[in-house]
Amino acid sequence: MNSRSRAHSFKSAVNSNKETELNTQSLIFELGSTEKSGVDIENCEFSSNLIGESLRNKKIGLPGLSEPEAIRYFVNLSKKNYSIDEGIYPLGSCTMKHNPRLNEKLARLDGFANLHPLQPVNTIQGVLELMFELSKNLLEITGMEAVALSPAAGAQGELCGILAIKQALENKRENRSKILVPDSAHGTNPSTAALCGYEIESVPSNPSGRINLDILIEKLNDKVAALMLTNPNTCGLFENDILKIAEEVHKRGAYLYCDGANFNAIVGKVKPSSLGIDAMHLNLHKTFSTPHGGGGPGSGPVVVSKQLSSFLPVPMIKKINDKFEIIENENKNTNSFGRLKAFHGQVGMFIRAYSYILSHGSDGLKQVAEDAVLNANYIQSKLKEHLTVKYPGFCMHEVLFDDQFLKGTEVSTLDFAKAMIDKGIHPMTIYFPLIASGAMLTEPTETESKKDLDNFCEKIIDLAKKAKEGNRNLFSSSPTKAVLGRLNETAAARDLILTYSE
């Protein structure tokens, strides 16, 4: 399929009545030719033992554009996108918060930005010291014993933690085959467990939206390797029975893994170690403000208890006689499960997170959690008369609405979310967690002002009123102001094209 066909396939996802009105964006392969170059380079002989003959003479197929063409292409693309710098981004369980520019300035310092992972250790003592100090701070904040910085994001952090647990069990010669996962968990939890070779057994929630303790106790036995728990959970609620849960899990020789996606709600307020947690990943791109998603890359360090401290992956950084050394070989750390990825992880994210921690201090991090929880409860109090709260009462950093308020209106959660786009606000997370019908999971984070929260709530209330008034056409045609209009998501899913070929 050529590039023009691929562009046409993308347009096919748009309603046909909107297609002629669109200011569509060409693909970069349509703008530049692979036979051209944006700069003049003389022919030269290139020789390297690192690159084989077949690769050396192979065309790489990149389109040649001048600098203005390349800049205009990406600037025009960016203008079609919504970002946290443009307005509130209330994705539940994703913590899309402001990224302080101080962090960006420090990450761009020449001494950091121009480093290479293959430099001699004696030339990178500064960044190794920063990573060492970041590790100490993360351990102080969580109360844990050891940390692995290398995981590239939350999902890989989960993989790291479960592999450490698996290694610890194998070291004790225990054959455990199951991992328990709450029914409200992130989808990466059961995926991680399956990737590590475990059977997954779901644990249902109770009517209050928390894990059903009685059923959990029934399911715990000597075949269970771990419970993967998110706390606060994905319903935006704190697991009040966490100490009893940890006690029961440990009583049966299993480990308690905590998904740290929602740590932003309790950072500075409670140390996970005091909750009986054995392993936990920390999303630096959530709790510690490093860029998230498309603005990434992500970073998911894993902190563990003393029982798991020797099973973490290499490389590790050690301070020996006032010098920082890298433990690269798992043979020097005999219990390690090996190497999770190349090098040390996302160093730019380490710099940003360290800057964030130092600029906030312990009192500031505590306020982060307090303000995040306050903002979520403020939204709940403003909207509870117009939307339906799935689990009434105080929530943590996010509030979960369901679609009961839309019953009889012929407006779906998806319709409601599309209409939010025309209001100039990004939709919240929808249809997750799965245990809530038509879920609308909303997380304002601590970085939104009261004025912005009021504006958000006013627009939501207006849409709720219009839905209840029977204005079905408004919702079925939304969004009308977005660049691409309303996409035909079924067609896009069925005609999914992910590769480019000439």
φ and ψ of 441, to 5 deg: -95, 115
List, as one string, the DSSP characters of 155-195. HHHHHHHHHHHHHHHHHTT----EEEEETTS-THHHHHHHH
What gap in Å lies between CA 422 and CA 483, rounded to an integer?
11
Which tokens belong to 341?
Answer: 């990825």
What would the DSSP string read from start to end of 29-96?
HHHSBTT--SS---------TTS-HHHHTS---PPB--HHHHHHHHHHHHHTS--TTTS---BTTT--
Residue matched to tokens 């959990």: 216
Beta strand 302-304 pairing with 279-281: antiparallel
Q: Where do you find CATH 3.40.640.10 in the chain?
A: 125-357
Q: Which residue has the tokens 């200011």?
A: 23
Cα separations in angstroms, 446 against 66, 268, 389, 401: 42, 14, 21, 19
Give, for all 502 residues of the chain, the pLDDT tens digit. Answer: 343 334 444 444 444 444 444 456 778 888 877 777 777 767 666 555 555 556 556 677 788 888 888 899 999 888 888 888 899 999 998 899 999 999 999 999 999 999 998 899 999 999 999 999 999 999 999 999 999 999 998 999 999 999 999 999 999 999 999 999 999 999 999 999 999 999 999 999 999 999 999 999 999 999 999 999 999 999 999 999 999 999 999 999 999 999 999 999 999 999 999 999 999 999 999 999 998 865 567 899 999 999 999 999 999 999 999 999 998 865 555 789 999 988 888 899 999 999 999 999 999 999 999 999 999 999 999 999 999 999 999 999 999 999 999 999 999 999 999 999 999 999 999 999 999 999 999 999 999 999 999 999 999 999 999 999 999 999 999 999 988 888 888 888 888 776 655 5
Q: Domain 125-357 is of which CATH architecture?
A: 3-Layer(aba) Sandwich (3.40)
